[in-house]
Amino acid sequence: MCMTALHSAHAFPLSASVDAIRESVDRLEALLPAREDAAVVLDFIEDDLREGLDAISEVEAHFTDILDTLREDGLTPIRLLDAAEDFRVINRIEYLMVVVAQLRRRLSQAAGKMRERAPRR
């Protein structure tokens, strides 16, 4: 990946998203039983959300770098090849697939814990 993409992905933290993550996890926490296993699931959900958004921002930065490269005056074949040779973004996409699967499983766990807390009728 171009250094610009790596730099831009980390230079501008997703502070609004991070606040939204914390707020969302806090709301979910209020719906779960106050037990250690629920707290662990919440921690994992929060981590998955943060890591997923971080991976997405790196992938987005890669595409932005490609767009910037394509807009350059005097575009050369070497610049195109340099823009295309980014194995890190492929790794981030693969990692994102793992995070999405983990998040799905953990949200299912949280849903089960919500049922445990709900009053039975």
Distance CA 41, CA 29 (A): 10
3-state secondary structure of 86: coil
Per-residue pLDDT, averaged over 89-94, amounts to 95
Does residue 76 register a pLDDT over 80? yes
- Residue ranges of domains in the chain: 3-8+20-117
Judge contact between 56 and 96, C-beta under 8 A. Answer: yes
**DSSP annotation of 74:** T
Per-residue exposure over 10-45, b if at least 16 CB sit within 10 Å of its own CB, e if not:
eeeeeeeeeeebeeebeebbeebeeeeebeebbebb
pTM of the predicted model as reported, rounded to 2 decimal places: 0.77
Per-residue pLDDT, averaged over 64-92, amounts to 93
- At residue 4, the pLDDT reads 46
